[in-house]
Amino acid sequence: MKPSFPFYYPFLVSSCLVFPFSFLLRGEREAISSFPSYFLFSSLCAEAMATGQLFSRTTQALFYNYKQLPIQRMLDFDFLCGRETPSVAGIINPGAEGFQKLFFGQEEIAIPVHSTIEAACAAHPTADVFINFASFRSAAASSMSALKQPTIRVVAIIAEGVPESDTKQLIAYARSNNKVVIGPATVGGIQAGAFKIGDTAGTIDNIVQCKLYRPGSVGFVSKSGGMSNEMYNTIARVTDGIYEGIAIGGDVFPGSTLSDHILRFNNIPQIKMMVVLGELGGRDEYSLVEALKQGKVNKPVVAWVSGTCARLFKSEVQFGHAGAKSGGEMESAQAKNQALKEAGAVVPTSYEAFEDAIKETFEKLVEEGKITPVKEVKPPQIPEDLNSAIKSGKVRAPTHIISTISDDRGEEPCYAGVPMSSIVEQGFGVGDVISLLWFKRSLPRYCTKFIEICIMLCADHGPCVSGAHNTIVTARAGKDLVSSLVSGLLTIGPRFGGAIDDAARYFKDAYDRGLTPYEFVESMKKKGIRVPGIGHRIKRGDNRDKRVELLQLFARTNFPSVKYMEYAVQVETYTLSKANNLVLNVDGAIGSLFLDLLAGSGMFTKQEIDEIIEIGYLNGLFVLARSIGLIGHTFDQKRLKQPLYRHPWEDVLYTK
């Protein structure tokens, strides 16, 4: 027994555009085919769809799942249109961070790469379009994540084959939150002279031929991306070109409908006429029929529904798109074309006559004075890449270095964006400069003061340590300053001055895992690893290193937290119970206190702290500091005119 109207009515009204025809049997489809079409696919558009333009010349997008060619095509289109800023603000590549080098005209630019959608949206709050090039397996999840970001207004889903249940959830969420979904299974959309999504309109040559580098007077919407490219060319031949074109996608449940965009075009003053290319299957076109009948569209609409050849086949035919499959007479191309014609749209007798219908409508509007054809402009020449042309003035050569810490272009150098004059005028010290060049931010004064204290305390430790000894020997051999300095620096490593990073790494790991000093020390012993930052050849428990005491005093007085330092002190207490020389040395003090600086300042994320330790920033402090002393020893030997050093025989054990 077929369900009666009262059974379906509440669901039809509440579901709006997402009534699941594909889940109905043929008989059930026919049972409801007599209902008014707006019950099935009524275009209850959200405000974002009703207000008009989706894009502008300042629109910026976030691009999900890096694809070089679509992004470069977007940037080339930007340049062609004379945009001042690139339309791609950032790239989201899960698990990756950094920059991607691309071209913006002749100039090479670095576009930031973010590992998460949330991070990208936070970094680029003005980017309100999300272009999703994820596969059909992950497109729904990433699109929903983007829709939930307050900065994202439009989501374009390129992938085909997104599960219909997932698509329905995306549509429902988007409409309830006043957002727009284009796709799935779409090439995207374009606003001529302003913004385009991914591969929309194809190559630059096609874009130029279709006059898409400047706005025209026609609004175009289609289900098919491939046919959109064809229609852009057709429209450009017989009109002044399109103002905006959208391919809603060929899946059964598109995120936005033909009528959504026609109603939107109707509210854009620059659009004087609309062109629609539908296809057999589904009932989307009937929502446009209802809009025309109800007088919601007051601009000429030229429409054609493709798929009239389906009647030539004896059985039901599935065309290229998932939604291009007739589920009954009302879903046939002939029925839709007839309904559109009766509602007031200009419908030709065939696709071949479509171009003439568009031309006649446009020319009529020109005669009536409703359209003043756009004056043609000559677009700029897009430089060719190296692999396609090696000609003077047409070649773009990639850069070989990326720098984010300083910039010497312009009137004065900048450190992390801070002009040199500002650094001097504000009385910045060496610690401030290090914070800008090493950490790319201005740290609080107590942090930069701590850095300066570390440099002062570690600048030199006498002529007998290995680094100073090597420098002295090299200087006495008549070598230059750089050679003498480098010979000393090359001794820095795990056994001399290079234990700061290891001390920080092991103390942090032990503290974060909640290990007691006993558990930490004994676990290191079992691994055969000496605890970095513990132990001294001269200092003892009753003769502490004055440098360590000074650092600890400064930190306890100025740092908001010294949890890592206190943990290191507890470890020292335990190691001193084993041997009197197992004291916390200057490496361990700096390593633990730098952890407190990074964690306590509130200016670094956990990931940044781990990266700083891994890269070797803390050992960099020792290298920088000890360079001062090594340079001093070089000058000292040369000033004293010391001869070539030869090690005395009596200090060598000769043995077999």
Q: Any idea which residues carry the catalytic annotation? A: 321
Provide CB contacts within 8 A for 525, sequence distance 6+: none
Q: Are 533 and 587 in contact (CB under 8 A)?
A: yes
**Of the candidates 579, 640, 600, 31, the residue with the CA atom closest to the CA atom of residue 330:** 31
Phi, psi of 385 (to 5 degrees): -80, 165
Q: What are the C-alpha distances in Å from 308 to residues 21, 313, 354?
A: 21, 11, 14
Provide CB contacts within 8 A for 499, sequence distance 6+: 532, 533, 587, 588, 591
**Residue-by-residue DSSP string for 572-584:** HHHHHTT-TT--B
Please, which residues bridge with residue 279 across strands? 306
Please, which residues bridge with residue 549 across strands? none
Side-chain-side CA neighbours of 388 within 13 Å: the count stands at 6
Kindly state the helix (H) or strand (E) to which residue 117 belongs, with its residue range.
helix 117-123
Residues in the chain: 656
- What is the rounded CA–CA span in Å between residue 211 and residue 354? 20
- What is the rounded CA–CA span in Å between residue 270 and residue 219? 9
Residue spans of beta strands (DSSP E) within 21-97: 61-64, 88-92
- What is the rounded CA–CA span in Å between residue 91 and residue 45? 30
What is the sign, positive or negative, of the torsion defined by CA atoms of 240, 254, 344, 226?
A: positive
Structure tokens at 528: 């055969």
**Of the candidates 562, 568, 555, the residue with the CA atom closest to the CA atom of residue 515:** 568
- What is the rounded CA–CA span in Å between residue 450 and residue 554? 8
